[in-house]
Amino acid sequence: MNFTAATPRSPRLRLGTALNGHDNALNFVRLVLASIVVISHSFPLIGVKDPTGGRLVGLGGLAVDGFFILSGYLITASRLRLGVGAYLWRRALRILPAFWLMLLLTGFVFAPVSTLFDGGTWSPGAGLRFVVANFGLKMNEYGVAGTLAAVPYPDVWNGSAWSLFFEFGAYLLLGALFLVPGVRRHALPVCGGLLVLVVIVQPLAHGPLEVTTNMYLLALRLGAFFLTGTVLYLLRDRIPLHAGVAVGCALVFVVLYLTAFSTWFGQLPLAYVLLYAGATWRTRIGARNDLSYGIYIYAFPMQQFAYLMIGTTLGWVGHTVLALVLTVPFAAASWFWLEKPAMRLKRLVGARVPANPVAPAARRPEPEPEPEQL
């Protein structure tokens, strides 16, 4: 498998140099994060108690935060190289085709097949309503009527896909931000200022401001992690890679997580740990073929199937293993037959390089870190 953790060859090695091109482990880091999400969902989906008092379940949210950090880093790289049309076209190609196929398979394959296990009912109209209601990325309807009524987590076919709405929203906002005159030249202070503002507002929203709308609270939380990735990309040539710093950041984040403050103030330490891992780990897993998006969007329905097949017989560990075994073929098929071919269409919209680059580093030609996604 050839997996090792490599120490940076020089104390002067910078994050931007180490993550330039395809010779990094960011795809593997995303696979790890996707697997953590699967583990965290196993407990509610089979109706058993988390033996750690909710810490394992909570890791799912941490993994989503990590996805937004990596996305912020990579998507900023894409936005700074491309005109807004090419940028949005590539983002749409990366997210939408696979998502739409997942909706179709859920509504018209997974849902009717599930009735063979639990005696539920399915109709084409119910499948169509599921697809149409969620077609715009926002999960307005989680269930397909008449199915999954007898499982511990009923009437929900995909409890992971909610984050894609916020992901694509971040793409749109970043695309619009760099259209504002002067922002491209002053990207670091602008994005850094926005990050500080969101970090300050988030605890206020939970406290004195008494914001109760979950969409706004999630937008603040995920926006902070996405902006952290953006800021670290803009600082990439100034950030040294150092094992001691990575260990220190990991310890700080663990403390924040255990004290329930990681979603408010854990952005920078988590970002450094994840990007350090992507820059220094040496593994060929996921180097060219990125299954993380497919695992993310197919794992939840496969976990529901895993329960229908074995219930709680093998506990949460066996349920997780079976779910991953069921998920990987769908993720691989999605990547090889849809996601990868779809990205070949990116050249249909010209990649005009914008004027007034952010910094000299942005002007030098760099291989595009495709595929960029959640």
Q: What angle do CA 92, 359, 197 make, to 5 degrees?
A: 70
Whether residue 10 has pLDDT greater than 90: no
- Total domains in the chain come to 1
Across 24-44, average pLDDT: 95
The strand pairing partners of 281, in sequence order, are 5
- Residue 320 pLDDT level (bands cut at 50, 70, 90): very high
Q: What is the DSSP letter of 240?
A: B
Q: Is residue 258 part of a domain?
A: yes
Q: Is residue 111 part of a domain?
A: yes
**For a pLDDT cut of 70, what percent of the chain falls above it?**
90
Whether residue 310 has pLDDT greater than 80: yes
Q: Is residue 350 part of a domain?
A: no
* pTM > 0.85: yes or no: yes
Could you tell me the two tokens for 21?
Answer: 């091109």
Q: Is residue 358 part of a domain?
A: no
Across 77-91, average pLDDT: 95
Could you tell me the two tokens for 354?
Answer: 């914008």
pLDDT at 354: 59
pLDDT at 96: 97
- Residue 358 pLDDT level (bands cut at 50, 70, 90): low
Q: Is residue 20 part of a domain?
A: yes
Q: Residue 95 belongs to what domain range?
A: 4-342
Residue 11 neighbours by CB under 8 Å, 6+ apart: 240, 242
Residue 175 or 21, more confident: 175
Whether residue 313 has pLDDT greater than 80: yes
Torsion of CA 187, 189, 192, 198, to 10 degrees: -100
Q: Which of 373, 374, 366, 274 is nearest to 22 (CA)?
A: 366
Mean pLDDT of the chain: 90
Distance CA 332, CA 334 (A): 5
Instruction: Check if the beta carbon of residue 238 is closer than 8 Å to that of residue 192.
Output: no
pLDDT at 364: 41
How far is C-alpha 28 from the chain's CA centre?
A: 13
pLDDT at 374: 42
Q: Is residue 53 part of a domain?
A: yes
How far is C-alpha 327 from the chain's CA centre?
A: 17
The beta strands (E) that lie in 33-101 are given as none
- Residue 355 pLDDT level (bands cut at 50, 70, 90): low
Instruction: Write the pLDDT tens digit of every residue in 249-288.
Output: 999 999 999 999 999 999 999 999 999 999 998 888 887 8
Distance CA 100, CA 96 (A): 6
Q: Is residue 92 part of a domain?
A: yes
Q: Is residue 351 part of a domain?
A: no
Instruction: Check if the beta carbon of residue 122 is closer than 8 Å to that of residue 147.
Output: yes
Instruction: Check if the beta carbon of residue 368 is closer than 8 Å to that of residue 81.
Output: yes
**One-letter amino acid for residue 136 of the chain:** G
pLDDT at 197: 97
Instruction: Write the pLDDT tens digit of every residue in 183-242.
Output: 999 999 999 999 999 999 999 999 898 999 999 999 999 999 999 999 999 999 999 999
**One-letter amino acid for residue 320 of the chain:** T
Q: What angle do CA 326, 331, 335 make, to 5 degrees?
A: 160
pLDDT at 286: 81
Residue 161 neighbours by CB under 8 Å, 6+ apart: 99, 102, 134, 139, 297, 300
